[in-house]
Structure formats: C-alpha cells, structure tokens
Amino acid sequence: MEVSRAAGDALVEPDLLDRAWSFFVAYPAVAVALLVGLLALVIGVYAIRRFERPQGTRFLEQVADLDEVAVLLHPNPDPDAMATGVGIANLAEQVDTDARVQYAGQVRHQENRAFETVLDLDIEQIDHVSDLAAEHVVLVDHNEPRGFAGADSVLPCAVVDHHPGDGTGELFTDVRTDYGAASSIVAEYFDDVGAVPVPPARHESEVDATYTVPTTVATGLLYGVLTDTKRLTSGCSAADFAAAGYLYPGVDEERLDRIANPEVSTEVLELKARAIAGRDVRGPFAVSDVGRISNPDAVPQAAEELAQLEGVTAVIVLGERDGTLHLSGRSRDDRVHMGRTLESAVSALRDASAGGHARMGGGQLPLERGSIVVGPEETITRDDFVDQLFESMSGEL
C-alpha cells in the first residue's frame, strides 16, 4: 500500500507542472497577470511587516550600519537630554557602533551637575562643528542643531525628540510631541528590542539577554522622565508611565536620591525670594524681573517656585546676564501654551529666540544699554516687555 501511494504521489508533481505549462501557453496574458499579482502580494506583505516594526528596532538597524556616531544634546543640557543621549549611545554600542555624547554650552544647574557627576557620565563639550566626533550625527531631545559655530551646516542622520519642530534626520526621524520626555522614547527603544534592565547589584554580563539596560542608563532615563513631567504629574502620557515601569527594575535608588536632592546654593534661594517679592500679578498670571543674575539656570528654578503660588496659573521670570535677558515660563493653565506664549512675545524682537511645551518654555534675547531691541532704530523698555508678556499670556498678542 505504501509503495503504491508513493508511486501515485510521484506522478502528481509532473502532472501539475504539465497543466500549469499548458495553461500558460493557452492563456499567456492571464498567467503573467497572476504571476505579477502574486509577486506584488509578496512584496506588499514584506513592506508592511518592515513598516510595522517597532521604532526601536528600526533605529537600531540604521545605527548598526554605521561605524561611529556623534550623539548631540541640545545646548546647556538638562537631565532628559543627557539621559536620552547616554541611552542612545549605549544602544549604538551594543551593535558595535562607536558613539560619543556631545553638547554645546554648559551643564550649570546644580541638579544637572549632580546628574552628570553621580552617574559618572562621559559627555563632551563642543564649541565648533569641527569638534563633532563623527560624520553621522544623532540629535536627541531637539530636532535642529544649534548652540555652536557651524551648527547650521550639520545634516543629522537621525532625530529622536519630543519637541515640536521641523527638523528631520536623513536616515531616521522619530518626533513624538505627545510624550512628556524624550527619555520615554528611548526607554521604549530598549523595550522594543527586548533589552533587560540590569539590577544595580548585578553586572550586564550576569544577565542572559542579547540587549540590556545598564543600571546607570535605567536610573538616568527614569530621572529624565520624572524631571520633564514634574514627577509624572504634568504634561505626561501613558507612555511615560509605561517607560517608568519598564525601567524600574534597573534603577539604583541610592543614586536616584542623590541626584534628586542636591545641595541648593545660596544664590538660587535668594533669587527665588527676589522673584516672589518682586512679582507683578495680573489676574491669574504673574511676571517677575529678578534683574542681574550670575547663574541663568536659577531663572527656571525661580519660575518653578513662583508657579506654586496660590491663584497663579502661569508665570514668567526674567533675569539678565552679560547683556542677555533669559526667560523661563511655567503654565498649569490650559489657556496658556507657554512655549507658544514666549515665542509670540519675542517674535518681533531682533535676534530673540523662544519656545517650549504647553507647560514650560524658555527663551533669550539680547539687550543694548538695558533696552530690548526691536529694529535698527527701535527699542522698548523692560517694563514695556513685561506688558507684552502679559498680553501674550492673555492671548492678546
């Protein structure tokens, strides 16, 4: 019986081939159409599967094809930027791509300095485009290069960000404005590729996984999420909570506490007091010009403090250093998108820049002899500018 069945099976295959060939000879146009349709179906299914791959997988594939990358933070980086950069660099290194994290400006805020020191981050300051460590540049936590000479000549190969903007990467772009922190995006990348967070008491080599999240990276990314979402209480999404939960097993709580509770300088405390004492409150909005400062990073801290005042829903603090007026704003008012508010307030001023999120924003503008320059022959006083800020918060500008 088995021999007979095998012999029958052997006869089927050539018979089918003969029939297929006969059909092709009899109806060549139909046969070609069927073959083209089948090929298109196969290609379509392949394309859909590639398109549906998680962003983390797609990013890692792009980076794996490069020998080296420069991971560029925004100027004067905060914890979210630093954590995002270190996370991206670590992912790149796990596919044997050399990566160096670089930034323009300074790490100034005591919380930012504590973040860099406690996690022993290897990040490098640059002043000129020639200082970039590699031809291929990955922008993180911003989408347009800025803050150093020749920045406008940089064509990034990849962009990973959560800020609004038009910047894109030549190979890869992932800008998610609904996320509260860029750190959440990078945590998701690790999760996409199946990376396992490494507990603080263990080493990566002790974890049986192709990809890992080292404890310093997990701790940094979690703090990046917390700082940009006000401890997961403002401007965050479900993805930010998911990122925090994913990272938690790898978080070093002792280091996290040291970062979150650094010593506060006398200058910062005094500036906060000046901001509160000198505030101008009009309805639910407040503006405070604290005058001359030596540390611009104290301005956003003063804005955070002023935003806690009862009855105040949106605040802007100004401070002057070396001929530049630094602005920082906070909003818990759904009517006031702080980034757009500041952008609108400075839009007509020469060489001014501002922007940010719905809940927070910042900006800078040059001063000439204490006045704010509008045009070649036109200036306005600081008091006039304060009026403009109130008008912008009220939607009148």
pLDDT tens across the length of the chain (397 residues): 444 444 444 444 567 667 766 766 777 776 667 667 766 665 554 444 555 689 999 999 999 999 999 999 999 999 999 999 999 999 999 999 999 999 999 998 888 989 999 999 999 999 999 999 999 999 999 999 999 999 999 999 999 999 999 999 999 999 999 999 999 999 999 999 999 999 998 888 888 899 999 999 999 999 999 999 989 998 899 999 999 999 999 999 999 999 998 877 788 889 999 999 999 999 999 999 999 998 888 899 999 999 999 999 999 999 999 999 999 999 999 999 999 999 999 999 989 999 888 888 999 999 988 889 888 878 899 999 999 999 999 987 6
Residue 359 main-chain phi, psi, to 5 deg: -95, -20
d(CA 315, CA 304): 9
Cα 133 to chain centroid, rounded: 20
Name the helix (H) or strand (E) containing 191: helix 182-192
Strands 378-380, 360-368: pairing is unpaired
The first and second tokens of residue 144, run together, are: 């347009």
Of the candidates 140, 136, 110, 135, the residue with the CA atom closest to the CA atom of residue 123: 140
Q: Strand, helix or coil at 73?
A: coil
Query: The whole model's pTM is what?
Result: 0.70
63's enclosing H/E stretch is: helix 55-64
How many whole angstroms separate alpha carbon 359 and alpha carbon 163?
Answer: 12
Report the alpha-carbon distance of residue 100 to residue 190 in Å, rounded: 19
